[in-house]
Amino acid sequence: MKVIVQKYGGSSVADPERIKNVANRIARKVRDGFKLVVVVSAMGKTTDQLIALAKSVSDRPDERELDMLLTTGEQVSCALVAMALKDLGIRAISLNAFQAKILTTRHHTNARILDISLSHLKEYLKDHDVLVITGFQGVTEDGHYTTLGRGGSDTSAVALAAKLKCDCEIYSDVPGVYSCDPKLVNRPKKWPYITYDDMLELAATGAKVLHSRAVEIAKKYGVKIYCGSSFTEEEGTWVVDRLPEWLEEPVVTGVSLERNQVKVTITDLTNDAAIVSDIFKRVADRGINVDMISLVKNGERTHVSFTVVPDKLDGIKELLDDTLSDYGAKYHFFGSFAKITVVGTGMRSSYGVASKLLEILSGEGIEPEIVTTSEIKISVLVPEEHAQKLVEKICYAFSLVEE
């Protein structure tokens, strides 16, 4: 039995015509001899609309109830795709997370998959050629629905592929993985192959082709991912462990941009690593993600800066008000900034990427607020109003656009 997992994003199932198009694509694969597990997102902007609806009745919607609401979006598209397939004579069935036994943690709105019942999937595949499964959602051991966070349908699909030990095809309105978002730069390069490491860094720093947790699972279990468009037959991109030997590895693979960043600076902390550790532990305990951490010692005092997104500011403010009173320190918010990240596994064996990047910023008269680096990425925090122009210049400087 040849099995493959496919995932279709919200734009691919945004209206009845697009749903029929997806059904035809799936049917062709069935006729080629495959059995499919198909993961679908909610139609178009349904999730955004449901969130807005929740906020119209509650300023701070209860997370458990919000998950109950949001899971309805995927159930609608899931059932409609199954209906369209049955009209084509395909033996299909729609399944929600409860029926597919996708077990998750209890963290509402940001749960993690713990297990998927392989025996249930195999049982359904005996009598059906296509299982259409709701993405983005799971169920706890005690039967409560959860959601996996934005972009979670990618995670659902790759987790299913890992369980079934097969490839995963991710379809959206973008025909592959580019060196930069085509909405930011004209004619960015499209890669035929990209490594898990490069894709993971790009996804984690703002690239919207794949969700970072999906790439993490793919890397851990060796799931090959194909990223393509549901609207064309244009060749897409394979996400793999390593590039084919015949393909030259670029020094820089991509540039990503995350807008709407706020810098938080804590000043006048005593030089004590335990204090800094305690502050970030309390932040983590609140479920708040921080980024681009910078620590500077000045004599007997320590100053710490990090970035957060604006919707976490209330939580950070409340936490710092409670925490810093214990240490006699102060904090300030600064914004708005954007984070630009240059990514490339080729940086491991090449020099000069950081100097070239800082030279570009200097040429525009911009001094970065924070710089963070790893073996294969460099991130800079810059004023948001300059971000677009800087991304364009960086892409041209590193030959990431088509000639």
Detail the residues annotated as belonging to a binding site.
Answer: 7-10, 47, 74, 178, 208-209
Burial of 62 (0-12, 13-18, 19+ CB in 10 A): exposed
* Cα distance between residue 178 and residue 180, in whole Å: 5
Q: Strand 130-134 and strand 34-40: pairing?
A: parallel
Q: Is the distance from CB of 391 to CB of 186 less than 8 angstroms?
A: no
Q: Is the distance from CB of 44 to CB of 10 less than 8 angstroms?
A: yes
For the chain, counts of helices (H) and of strands (E): 12, 20
* Cα distance between residue 50 and residue 288, in whole Å: 23
* Helix H or strand E segment including 70: helix 63-87
When computed from its CA atoms, the radius of gyration of the chain, rounded to whole angstroms, is: 23
Residue 6 DSSP label:
E
Please identify which residue in the block is written with the tokens 């979006």. Answer: 73
Determine the residue type at 7.
K
Known binding-site residue numbers for substrate: 47, 74
Determine the residue type at 337.
F
* Cα distance between residue 34 and residue 367, in whole Å: 54
Known binding-site residue numbers for ATP: 7-10, 178, 208-209
If we measure between CA atoms, which residue out of 164, 14, 151 comes closest to residue 77? 14
